[in-house]
Amino acid sequence: MAPRVWVAGYDDLEPVAELMAAFRDWMRRDAPSDDTIRRTTAALLRDSDTNFLLASRDGGRLPAGVCQLRYRLSVWTGTEDCWLEDLYVREDARGGGVGRSLVEAAVERARARGCRRIQLDVNEQNGEALALYRSVGFSTESKSPGRTLLIGRPL
């Protein structure tokens, strides 16, 4: 049976927050705290420009993975863009199609919202994630001459 994917509602706050905290732990980060993750997740679940998708293995009800989508209007397309901000699958559920199901659902969710593109960033050393994204049509090729880099600055 294929993984079941659904758009998280406010009643899914606890599993979303738990999976986001597990993602933080997987990345070996100390922050944000569990309380901050829970509080921020609660606010984002109420934000019309954010979706969290949850997926369970084998059609079950216990979430094994989470995907966060953020939407913003783009001058360059005249429509919203979708930013796949986070994707995490519990280690015991990896290799069972949960991640693929979440990414495919994210693409469909963005299309249904009218987005013309979906983007994300991924660690260049994370070969499994790169392979997954490439297998569902994402490209790491630059859209213009030269290399485009994601840059940022803490404030």
Confidence (pLDDT) at 35: 98
Instruction: Provide the residue type at 114 as one letter.
Output: G
Distance of alpha carbon 16 from alpha carbon 59, whole angstroms: 17
pLDDT at position 153 over 60: no
Q: Yes or no: say if 1 and 98 are a contact pair by the CB < 8 Å rule.
A: no
Distance of alpha carbon 10 from alpha carbon 28, whole angstroms: 27
Confidence (pLDDT) at 60: 77
Structure tokens given for 53: 């998708």
Q: Which of 67, 53, 60 is nearest to 23 (CA)?
A: 67
pLDDT at position 145 over 90: no
28, 38, 51 from 69: Cα distances, Å: 22, 17, 5
108 versus 141: the higher-pLDDT residue is 108
Phi, psi of 118, rounded to the nearest 5 degrees: -130, 135
Confidence (pLDDT) at 146: 63
Q: Which of 38, 33, 74, 68 is nearest to 50 (CA)?
A: 68
Confidence (pLDDT) at 123: 86
